[in-house]
Structure 1
Amino acid sequence: MYKYLLALLCIAIPGKLLSQDLNQDNKVLELTYTEAVGILLDQSLPLLSSHYQVEASEGELLQAKAWNNPHFNWNQDLYSAERNEYFNQRNQRLIQLDIMFSISGKHTRGVKLAKIGVEQNQLLYENTKRSLVFELGLKFHQLMMLQKRNELYNIVFTQFKTLIDAYEIQYKVGAIPGSELIRLKSELLTLQNSIVSNQNETEKEMSEIRTLLNLRPEVYIKTKETIVPLPEASQLNFGDLISFAEENRPDYLARLKEISYQEMNLKLQKSKSIPDLMLGYQPHDKGSNYVRPYSGLVFEMDVPIFNRNQGNIASSEANVNRVKTEAEQALVSLQNEIFSSVNKYFHSRRALDNYNLEFLKELEELNNSALQNYNNKNISILQYLDMQRTYINTMSEYLGLQSEILQRVIDIEFTTGYQLYN
């Protein structure tokens, strides 16, 4: 019975479980978080797209500044029934130049509206940058944690594999019972499942980071850790962070700029209730007027009886009220986001502080001595496995907290616009 189970377990456990399946052509790219942000700002396609949106709005501003083109009109005789002649301009020809003038400040307000549009798109560009850096920060530190956890699993896996190899020899000579070897291999299979799950999650995060950084699929990203001084309570004054965010967060500033945009648009719509003025000059009219040739002045404009742009004015007034309400809501959201991000940081900080260096050192020593004590029969297999599980779970949680605390710092940066991570 034991022989069949051992054979199945040996087939199930791979020999090189933790080896990274990389082709020789694959490129390993070692990056710190700061270096990754640099690549993001240099190569990100969404950021480039947002930059083009700024350029497009600058083109709209250029167009808004342009004055109306003059209009040239040529009129001549097509067919004369009296003379049975076609296209004889000697009978009748007229030349006229017209130009439309926007009065009541329509042109000026249109230019100002376009300028605000450029400023809005510049803020949206900054907000796109801010959002991409935030997303990269979360994923980068998650990837770093997963790679560290993979190293942890590698240590335990190697220890288990070495122990199993030695016990298989002892089992063959009848020195140990088969049940004990099966328990060890069963535990190794459980560890294998954790390794596979961790590797799949690692691949998912790495794929998303490659997309953010505009890297080829064959690039393998190896995270490099840097020492980051964690902010203290004195650096995270709630009132100061709120004030800084109100002055620097691009998404909130874009909300305020939207108020300026809608207020200027309301002024523009009111000015459009006054019709434009068309002036024209006829330097020459040979045969169609009482004086031949005739020179005259043309004055044209709409009579604002039915359409006084009242619908667009009412819509613009409603939009002004709408964006003011949305700005108030954005301020409330900003304050709550900052309060929440700071509190979450301190929650994670307190949890991480429980893992002092002395405790981690004792845990490491306990893990190192567990194998020797088990080989010396000082502890049972159940005690040994329990110690291994405790070591794996505790270290895995510690690595998770390390990643989480850095993610909380990045979250504070995202909600306040204040740089804490250098």
Structure 2
Amino acid sequence: MYRPVLLILLMIHVWAGAAQEGVVRLSLDDALERFAACNLSLIAGRYNIDMAEAQVMQAKLIENPVISLEQNIYNRNNGKYFDLGKEGEAVVEIEQLIYIAGQRNKRVRLEKINKEMAAYQFEELLRTLRGELKEKFVDLYYTRKSLSVYDREIGYLSTVLDVYKEQNAKGNVSLLEKSRIQALLLSLKQERNGISNEVVALEGDLRLLLGLKGGEGLEPLFDESVLDRIRLDNIPFAELSARLAERPDLKQAEAGIRASEADVRLQRSLAFPEVSLKGAYDRAGNFCNNYFAIGLSVSVPIFNRNQGNIKSARLSVLRNNSLAELARRQADNELFACYTKLEKALELYRSSDYELERDFDRIIEGVNTGFQKRNISLLEFIDYYGAYKETCLQLYDMKKGVVLAVEELNTVVGVTFGSSQK
């Protein structure tokens, strides 16, 4: 009832942050909120839970009675066809299947566990898609920052090239120097084009995850001050390891064992005879007219005692036990790998100097001035540009490595801590 209103309010909140038409500016937390409300995979996944609930309801239902009608075609006593009168023969039977050995309750129990598994499956889908969203969001943010490095260098270098073209025309600068700067500018533009294609691909993936329209652009907003607040002391490995048991895929694996065990009990109960209670009325075809009778129908389990299904269910228990143990070991390995990766990423980040990025304008101005005054050679000029670019890209990779390591750890453990900006 309130969902459409909530969605409208959410969209207003999102669009209010757009500085120009067609561009949506989102923080990571805003993106996660929109993702939870608009992602089509999640919307489809929720229906699996409703479908499982419907199966529980179906398992609770009692089998329908079977009614049989029989009418004599030709009455030889009076020569009538389809004699519906008192002298005509008609038979009515009603049959009701009765579950024994707790078959109905066992089937309901199995479907309830299947519903529980559907809920865990949805939570697992949510966990993995949230992890993918955060990874691509952070990747897009830092890829855009890398793009800005190329934009700044290309802007500065284009200005220098314009000056050198004029000076070359006047004979003050050699063609070699002008051509070398042109080659450097072309190389930067080609590299920028490759990164720009990465941005387009990431934006496409995020639009799909967030339910954005094809024409809407996305500008990710991220507070990098969170990097300095990450402390491994606050997230000890032992505590994270204990939280792994709450992961939905591990809970689903445990529920799979219980479902197999419930199926074994159900298949055993189905080996019991099928029992049906009958009632019959025969108007004129028995030893007396208007004959009423009740009866009991019982199948005799001589050949088929449901042996194959019982064996299959038992083997399913063994298989699901192995799969659950495999899932636990994989989770432990993922946690160890992610925690180690975060340790190394933090160590590298804290040992790096980020002043070069902050002082870019001052440094590049000095380089340009020194080159134009001939205090810096052409090779030194090109080397400065290349060194700055590579250093900035490496610094962004270090920052991105820390954030991605934290978010990967969040995804592995199934909880949120560390780089959350709320």
Q: Which TM-score applies when normalising by structure 1? A: 0.90
Matched, 1:237 2:232: no
Matched, 1:83 2:78: yes
Structure 2 letter corresponding to 1:233:
L
Query: Which of residues 239, 249, 263 is equivalent to 1:251?
Result: 249
What displacement does 1:73 show? 2.3
Matched, 1:110 2:107: yes
2:67 is matched with 72
What displacement does 1:363 show? 6.4
1:50 is matched with 45
Provide structure 2 residue ranges, at least 5 long, that are not aligned to the other structure: 1-19
Residue deviations 1:220-259 (CA, integer Å, cap 9, x gap): 111112242553122332221121111x211111011000
CA distance in 2, matches of 1:44, 1:28: 19
Q: Secondary structure at the match of 2:226?
A: coil
1:401 is matched with 398
1:215 is matched with 212
CA distance in 2, matches of 1:78, 1:241: 79
2:298 is matched with 301
Provide structure 1 residue ranges, at least 5 long, that are not aligned to the other structure: 1-24
CA distance in 2, matches of 1:121, 1:362: 54
What displacement does 1:364 show? 6.1
CA distance in 2, matches of 1:338, 1:42: 29
Structure 1 letter corresponding to 2:267:
Q
Query: Which of residues 350, 356, 366 is equivalent to 1:369?
Result: 366
CA distance in 1, matches of 2:140, 2:336: 27
What displacement does 1:296 show? 1.1
- Judge conservation of contact 1:26–1:218 (CA < 8 Å) in 2: no
CA distance in 2, matches of 1:223, 1:378: 41
CA distance in 2, matches of 1:127, 1:98: 46
Matched, 1:410 2:419: no
1:4 is matched with none
Aligned length in residues: 396
RMSD: 1.6
- Judge conservation of contact 2:354–2:395 (CA < 8 Å) in 1: no
Q: Which residues in structure 2 correspond to 1:104-253 (within 5 Å)?
A: 104-226=101-223, 227-229=225-227, 230-246=229-245, 248-253=246-251
- Judge conservation of contact 1:236–1:342 (CA < 8 Å) in 2: no
2:3 is matched with none
Q: Secondary structure at the match of 1:391?
A: helix
Structure 2 letter corresponding to 1:235:
N
What displacement does 1:374 show? 1.2
Structure 1 letter corresponding to 2:213:
R
Q: Which residues in structure 2 correspond to 1:17-36 (within 5 Å)?
A: 27-36=22-31
- Judge conservation of contact 2:154–2:188 (CA < 8 Å) in 1: yes
Q: Secondary structure at the match of 2:241?
A: helix
CA distance in 1, matches of 2:392, 2:231: 25
Query: Which of residues 389, 407, 410 is equivalent to 1:392?
Result: 389
Residue deviations 1:325-367 (CA, integer Å, cap 9, x gap): 1111111101000000111111111121122344655666433
2:6 is matched with none
- Judge conservation of contact 2:275–2:297 (CA < 8 Å) in 1: yes
Residue deviations 1:284-324 (CA, integer Å, cap 9, x gap): 32222223222211100110100000110011100100000
Q: Which TM-score applies when normalising by structure 2? A: 0.90
CA distance in 2, matches of 1:156, 1:375: 16
Q: Which moved more, 1:155-164 or 1:349-358?
A: 349-358
Structure 1 letter corresponding to 2:80:
E
- Judge conservation of contact 1:116–1:261 (CA < 8 Å) in 2: yes
CA distance in 1, matches of 2:397, 2:341: 15
Q: Secondary structure at the match of 1:338?
A: helix
- Judge conservation of contact 1:138–1:410 (CA < 8 Å) in 2: yes
- Judge conservation of contact 2:133–2:206 (CA < 8 Å) in 1: yes
CA distance in 1, matches of 2:297, 2:288: 22
% identical equivalent positions:
24
